[in-house]
Amino acid sequence: MRYTNLAKTISLGLALTFAIVLGLGAVDAVADEAKAKESYNIGVESMKEGKYNDAILAFRQALTEDPEYVDAYINLGAALYQTRKFAEALDAFQNATEKAPDNVDAWLNYGRVNYVLKKYGDAELAFKQAIELAPTNADLYKELGKVYYKQRQYDNVISSLQACHENGGGDFLTWFMLGKAYEKQDQTTQAINAFQKSIEARSSNYNAYFALGQIYLNQEKFMKAADMYDKALEADPQKFRAAYNYAVAIESADPDAIDRNIAAWQSFVKIAKGNPKAKRDLDIAIAHIEDLQERKELLESN
C-alpha cells in the first residue's frame, strides 16, 4: 500500500515528521510502477534526513515513471513546502486533488498552501471539501477557522472553532482565536472564558493574558487588569506594551499610591528604553514620572 500519511504532518510553524516505507513489498505487475515506488521510497528516506532537494528529485522521478502516483504528488508538495517553493507545492497538491478528489490529505495541504499564499478564498474551498470527506476531523475546522480569522469573518470563526472543539480538537491557538472572535462580537463573557481556556492549554501565553488585561481595563477592573498584564510580562518580559498598560492599570486603581505608580512606570521605561517602536510611549512615561515625582515632593513639603 502506498504511503499516504506524510502530508498530514505539514503544519504552519511545526516540524515535519513522517513514517518510512520499509522495502518495496510485492513486485508490481507493471515495471514502471515498481520503479516509481523505488524512487518514492528514496524520496521518503531523503525527507527523513532533511535532504529536501534530493527528495524533490526523487518524487519527481517517481511521477515521471508513474504520473498517477497520488502519494508522490502529496509528498512532493511536502518537500517543496519545506524549501518554501510554495507555488510549486500548490501545483503538486492541486494535482493530487485532481488525481484523487476523495483524498483528505490532498485537500488539507492544498488549503494550507493557499493559506500561506494568502489565497484565502481558495483555502476556504479546499478545507470545506476536506470537511465534506471527513466531517469529524477537528483539525480541518481549525484550518478553516484560521482562514475566517484572517478574513475577519468572526461569525464563521466562532462556528468553525466550536466545531473543532466539539470534535475533540483545539489548542491554545484555537481558543485564543475564538476569544478574539467573541470579543469582536461584543460577547465579553464568552471571550473571557475562551481566553482562560487558551491559558489552560498553554500557561505561558502572552497573547491571552494581554487580551484579558484589555478586557478588564476596559471594564475598569483595574487590579484584575494589572494582574493579567503582570502575567503577560512573566510570559514575555520584553513586551513593552504590557508594561505600559500595567502601569496604567496600577495608577488607575489608586492614583494616590505615588511610590507604587512611579515604580510601575519606571519598570516600563526600563523595558522600553532603546526600542524605537516605544519612543512615543517612552517620552510620555518619562514626562509622567517627572510629574509624579514633583507631586510627591509637593505633598511631602506640605
Confidence of residue 300 (pLDDT cuts 50, 70, 90): confident
Q: Is residue 171 assigned to a domain?
A: no
Confidence of residue 217 (pLDDT cuts 50, 70, 90): very high
**Among residues 147, 76, 80, 137, which one has the least CA distance to residue 104?**
137
What is the chain's mean pLDDT, rounded?
90
Work out the average pLDDT over 30-44.
86
Q: Is residue 109 assigned to a domain?
A: yes
Domain count, the chain: 1
Q: Which amino acid makes up residue 58?
A: A
Q: Is residue 155 assigned to a domain?
A: no
Q: Is residue 221 assigned to a domain?
A: no
Q: What is the CATH number of the domain that holds 19?
A: 1.25.40.10
> Which residues touch 298 (CB under 8 Å, ≥6 apart)?
none
- The reported pLDDT for the residue numbered 31 is 38
Backbone angles phi, psi at 119, to 5 degrees: -95, 75
Work out the average pLDDT over 40-47.
96
Work out the average pLDDT over 40-62.
96
Q: Is residue 197 assigned to a domain?
A: no
Say how far apart CA 219 and CA 281 lie, in whole Å.
23
Condensed to tens digits (0 to 9), the pLDDT of residues 116-141 reads 999 999 999 999 999 999 999 999 99
Work out the average pLDDT over 77-96.
97
Cα 102 from chain centroid (whole Å): 27
Q: Is residue 193 assigned to a domain?
A: no
> Which residues touch 3 (CB under 8 Å, ≥6 apart)?
19, 21, 40, 44, 71, 75
Q: Is residue 194 assigned to a domain?
A: no
Q: What range does the domain containing 45 cover?
A: 1-134
Helix 154-166 vs helix 172-184: crossing angle, to nearest 10? 140
Q: Is residue 103 assigned to a domain?
A: yes
Say how far apart CA 210 and CA 232 lie, in whole Å.
6
